[in-house]
A and B are shown apart, each in its own frame.
Chain A
Amino acid sequence: VTTFVAPATVAEALPLLAAGGTAVAGGTDLVVAARSGRRALPPAVVSLHRLDELRGIERSGDGSLRIGALSTHADLERSGLVRSGWPALADAAVLVGSPATRNVGTVGGNLANASPAMELGAPLLVHQARVETSGGRRLGIEELLVGPGRTALEPGELIAHVVVPASAASAYVRLEYRRAMEIAVVGAAAALAVDEAGRIEEARVALTAVAPTCVRAPAVEAALREATAAVFGDAAELAAEAASPISDVRASDRYRRAQIAVIVRRALELAHERVCM
């Protein structure tokens, strides 16, 4: 690092970013990568930690959830509002790293880092969330995440808020080899609305760590519509159609592909339990 600046407002931050500065929120990706020797710290750090206008989790007048981009995973995990209304997001937040990671890592940072294995991506997709940027743009999560480590943000543009519409019951489940300090091997989020006869009125499913970004699984969603919980197993089998997994140190592509249906079924079952609560 040659320079470090901590603007007090978003308005002060934007020209610094436009001039080539790199935004650093919690640093759980950027600083950890530097310490482990994977990638040097950026030469011009624009630290976001003083931007209080980007904090806070609240319900808007239209019933949607409005999450400041500097909210931490611990903030999501501890929010009664999130746990009751958008439970897949709380499920995902509590799985991230360790308590220390969750106390520092932010929602905006998780999105901007755009890892295909990010835990918040699939829950935000099934909840049809969008981000509001500092430039006043509104982007759906599927528009924001364009590839591994790549977003549709323009140079100098910050994620300011994440807006999540009021929605159906939801859940997020991942395949993991250990309970903490883990990254999803395969993950799935499901959101369901079910009528009194048990007929599925609304179903959305998204996958983690099996494609270049977190992705929806439209074939599963189509198979669930107008059906009942009895089809969860068969519908989950269709999830692999949306997947193009890679082999890496964590799992082979074949293992990931084989586990997708299992994890999707578990996410559907957990979301369905919550519908019926």
Chain B
Amino acid sequence: VTYPLVLTVDGVAYSLAVDGGRTLLAALREDVGVTGPKEGCDDSECGACMVLLDGRPVNSCSFLALQADGREVTTVQGLSDGSEPGPLQRAFVRTGGIQCGFCTPGMLVSATALLNESPNPTEDQVRLALAGNLCRCTGYGKIVEAVLIAAAELGEDRV
């Protein structure tokens, strides 16, 4: 049995038919074809599947797709216009906050939600906002640094 699911992904509306137990991550990757969100642990420990649901980070691997009906999903692929990386993405590259890259979509999504809400976060706020996103490469220092650099750069743009 499948059920209708209407949602917006990175600004584009989709009408899907999914079964009741389908996760939002599976719907995004396999039905919509947006593969930016990753499957890591598949049970809400690692954050590689992180997406924004109406602006708030959620673990899409453990979220029932049908509960996203009528809502707006933003993946890592919706964070810039596709041709040019945004300030947050550039900062990750500059600091070496990306190594294998598997956690990066989730890190960028969680960091985006933080900066939308708190444009001038402290280091502690950055670390707490990124909680639930595991990185096995960087030791986190470069990722935290990247978010702080992006915040400073975005702050200058606003002045």
With A1-B19, A35-B23 as contacts: A100 and B128 at CB distance below 8 Å:
no
Contact A4 B113, beta carbon cutoff 8 Å: no
With A6-B69, A41-B21, A103-B56 as contacts: A180 and B1 at CB distance below 8 Å:
no
Contact B132 A101, beta carbon cutoff 8 Å: yes
- How far, in whole Å, are A36 and B21 apart by their CA atoms in the complex? 14
Smallest CB gap from A4: residue in B: B20
Chain B residues 99 to 125 lying within 8 A of chain A, measured CB to CB, are: 110, 113
Contact B56 A31, beta carbon cutoff 8 Å: no
Chain A residues 1 to 25 lying within 8 A of chain B, measured CB to CB, are: 1-4, 6, 24
Contact B129 A99, beta carbon cutoff 8 Å: yes
Inter-chain CB contacts under 8 Å: number = 89
Which of B44, B50, B53, B128 contacts A180, CB < 8 Å?
B128
Q: Which residues of B contact A74 (CB under 8 A)?
A: 56
Q: Which residues of B contact A41 (CB under 8 A)?
A: 21
- How far, in whole Å, are A97 and B56 apart by their CA atoms in the complex? 15
Interface residue A49 (Cβ < 8 Å from any Cβ of B): yes
Smallest CB gap from A40: residue in B: B21
Chain B residues 5 to 30 lying within 8 A of chain A, measured CB to CB, are: 19-21, 23
Q: Which residues of B contact A99 (CB under 8 A)?
A: 56-57, 110, 113, 128-129, 131-132
- How far, in whole Å, are A99 and B44 apart by their CA atoms in the complex? 11
Q: Which residues of B contact A100 (CB under 8 A)?
A: 44, 47, 50, 57-59, 110, 132
With A99-B57, A101-B44 as contacts: A31 and B62 at CB distance below 8 Å:
yes
**CB of B76 to closest CB in A, whole Å:** 14
- How far, in whole Å, are A3 and B21 apart by their CA atoms in the complex? 8
Interface string of B75-115 (1 = CB under 8 A from A): 00000000000000000000000000000000000100100
Contact A2 B1, beta carbon cutoff 8 Å: yes
Q: Which residues of A contact B45 (CB under 8 A)?
A: 181
With A4-B66, A104-B63 as contacts: A45 and B20 at CB distance below 8 Å:
yes
Q: How many residues of B contact A (CB 8 A)?
A: 31
With A35-B23, A100-B132, A101-B132 as contacts: A45 and B64 at CB distance below 8 Å:
yes
Q: How many residues of A contact B (CB 8 A)?
A: 28
- How far, in whole Å, are A34 and B42 apart by their CA atoms in the complex? 10
Contact B132 A97, beta carbon cutoff 8 Å: yes
Smallest CB gap from A44: residue in B: B20
Contact A32 B44, beta carbon cutoff 8 Å: yes
**CB of B127 to closest CB in A, whole Å:** 8
Interface string of A26-42 (1 = CB under 8 A from B): 01100110111000010
**CB of B130 to closest CB in A, whole Å:** 9
Name 22 A/B residue pairs within 8 A (Cβ), A-sorted.
Answer: A1-B19, A1-B20, A4-B3, A24-B67, A27-B62, A27-B64, A28-B44, A28-B62, A31-B62, A31-B63, A32-B44, A32-B62, A35-B42, A35-B43, A36-B42, A41-B21, A98-B131, A98-B133, A99-B57, A99-B113, A100-B59, A181-B45
Q: Known pairs A32-B44, A97-B132, A103-B53. 8 more at Cβ < 8 A? A: A1-B20, A4-B21, A27-B63, A34-B21, A45-B64, A99-B56, A100-B47, A104-B59
* A residues whose Cβ falls under 8 Å from a Cβ of B: 1-4, 6, 24, 27-28, 31-32, 34-36, 41, 45, 47, 49, 74, 97-101, 103-104, 179-181
